[in-house]
Chains A and B, each alone.
Chain A
Amino acid sequence: MIEIKNINKSFGDNQVIFDVSAKFETGQTNLIIGQSGHGKTVLLKAMVGLHSIDSGSIVYDDRVFSDMEFEEQKTIRKEIGMLFQGSALFDSLTVEENVRFPLDMFAKQSKEEKRERVNFCLKRVNLENVNHLYPAEISGGMQKRVAIARAIALNPKYLFCDEPNSGLDPKTSIVIDNLIYEITKEYCMTTIINTHDMNSVMGIGEKIIFIYEGEKLWEGDKEEIFTATQKKLNDFVFASELFKRIKKQNQ
């Protein structure tokens, strides 16, 4: 479980996160939703230590991550897998080398064991015969799947996904969502996903928190989101024609 308590974060005079607290349960897909530019990515990056926080605390299973120095944080960081918005695959490495990268850095395994693990991870994300291709030679959806394979290479306890469907077509988005959901259940990970895609919310949103202008305004699940009375949340959820129609039909 990951718990954040009273997180505040500013860049100079511009405060972007205001006193956000939340609990993210193990074995669940936890979604942080909200409009672009309202602090979701900053919050996610603060949780993994890429941004320092001004105040508050971040706790990974009773370990206070926010109080630790970089060297101390290493133990927890090795338990984290992260899927970035743009995949963040290493351009100069092949697909196989990208997935093997964390194994090369941290795993005490033979070359053969590493190769087996890489192939297993790639197979798990339904990718085969792409080992020797470079990221530039595969599609955006495949890049996302390679990034997921890299993220799970070391069997992480925590998985962070920043806009996993960004730039993908609806069908591929569903494939990626389902993959993240299945992996979360399979490895019993604490998964936190940043998204503004309502299809993802309806598909895999087991726990949802809504961020508006850096503040947490609502918390619930995908069933409760349709009956919520929070106006800003409703404006966000029912912004699209499709969801407006669904709402009308339900009424």
Chain B
Amino acid sequence: MQFIYHFGRYVLFLKRVFSKPEKLRIFIKQIINEADSLGISSIGIVTIISFFMGAVITLQTAYNLEMMFIPKYTIGLAARESVLLEFSSTIVGLILAGKVGSNIASEIGSMRVSEQIDAIEIMGINSCSYLVLPKILGLILMIPAITLISMGVGIFGGWLAGSVTGEVPSSDYIYGIQMAFKPFYIFYGLIKAVVFAFLISTISAYHGYYVEGGSLEVGVASTKAVVVTSIQILLFNLLLTQLLLA
């Protein structure tokens, strides 16, 4: 029953979010601000994690294939497939659910408990649309760039780790990442990332918007937003994989 209640309220919330903005000039300014605060500020953490994950994926694949008579370039191929298909979209999505999702939920939740949202509503402004729509569009606008950076840095991290440790010769790795390459895999990763960006921004905003109580409840809502978003990302990952790759 709780699920049906929240799902219904989430749909009604989205209906209010996707309505005509009050003033286009202010709306565009807000989207740019949100793209900066939610997207650009996440590039650093995504770059660091992607680099190390790419490196670890490469080394673990290399160690596991050591005793087998499998060509070394397979390691590059495996690292590329892992980064493009799963890591840069799904794992980065989960990381952003923690960083950006908690940020959105706590920001909107704090505005709710300190009556700032009421102050917006009193003026006759649709607070859902005013506060949430720029966040959705800002994040969706930035996510393809973040995903592409993650893909590039992840593969580069793999190459560097393989070369420095001597586990994968540079030429083998580069041959491997080019082998049987399907450009669609990049689009597949980007499509998933955009869907995850939508889930992160809307679910987190929903939990923040309907907070009742004080700062303690804002913290609870923020945690809940991250948990629910992460589960939804995993569910949608399964669904999109079946839809796009089957």
Contact = CB atoms under 8 A, between A and B. Distances in A.
Contact of B26 (A77, A82, A85, A104): A104
Contact of A80 (B22, B23, B110, B122): B122
Interface in B106-127: 110-111, 114-116, 118-119, 121-126
B176 to A, nearest CB: 48
Contacts of A80: 122-123
A48 B23 contact: no
Contacts of B110: 91
Interface string A89-109: 111000000000110111000
A242 interface: no
Nearest to B117: A88
A77 B118 contact: no
Most-contacted residue by chain B among A80, A88, A101 (CB, 10 A): A88
Contacts of B122: 48-50, 77, 80, 82
Interface in B1-43: 22-23, 26
A203 to B, nearest CB: 25
Contacts of B119: 82, 84, 88, 90
A243 B107 CA distance: 44
Interface residues of A, number: 24
A49 to B, nearest CB: 8
B10 to A, nearest CB: 19
B114 A88 contact: yes
Task: Say which size band chain B's interface belongs to.
Answer: 10 to 19
A101 B111 CA distance: 16
A77 B124 contact: yes
A134 B22 CA distance: 25
Interface string A69-87: 0100111011010101110
Interface string B214-236: 00000000000000000000000
A50 B23 CA distance: 22
A50 B26 contact: no
B37 to A, nearest CB: 10
Contacts of A50: 118, 121-122
Nearest to A162: B115
B23 to A, nearest CB: 6
A105 B125 contact: yes
B12 to A, nearest CB: 13
Given A104-B23, A104-B26, A105-B26, A77 B114 contact: no
Contacts of A82: 118-119, 122
B118 A84 contact: yes
A74 B20 CA distance: 14
A86 B124 contact: no
B65 to A, nearest CB: 52
A90 B120 CA distance: 10
B118 A88 contact: yes
B115 A84 contact: yes
B51 to A, nearest CB: 32
B106 to A, nearest CB: 12
Nearest to B123: A102
Given A105-B23, A105-B26, A78 B123 contact: yes
B83 to A, nearest CB: 36
A85 B110 CA distance: 15
A73 B123 CA distance: 10
Contacts of B111: 90
A105 B110 CA distance: 22
A162 to B, nearest CB: 9
Interface in A106-164: 106
Contact of B123 (A70, A84, A89, A105): A105
Nearest to B125: A105
Interface of B: 22-23, 26, 110-111, 114-116, 118-119, 121-126
Interface of A: 45, 48-50, 70, 73-75, 77-78, 80, 82, 84-86, 88-91, 101-102, 104-106
Q: Which 9 A-B pairs have the closest CB atoms?
A: A77-B124, A74-B124, A88-B115, A88-B119, A84-B115, A82-B122, A88-B116, A78-B124, A50-B118
14 contacts: A49-B122, A70-B126, A73-B124, A77-B124, A80-B122, A82-B118, A82-B122, A84-B115, A84-B119, A86-B115, A88-B115, A101-B123, A105-B26, A106-B124
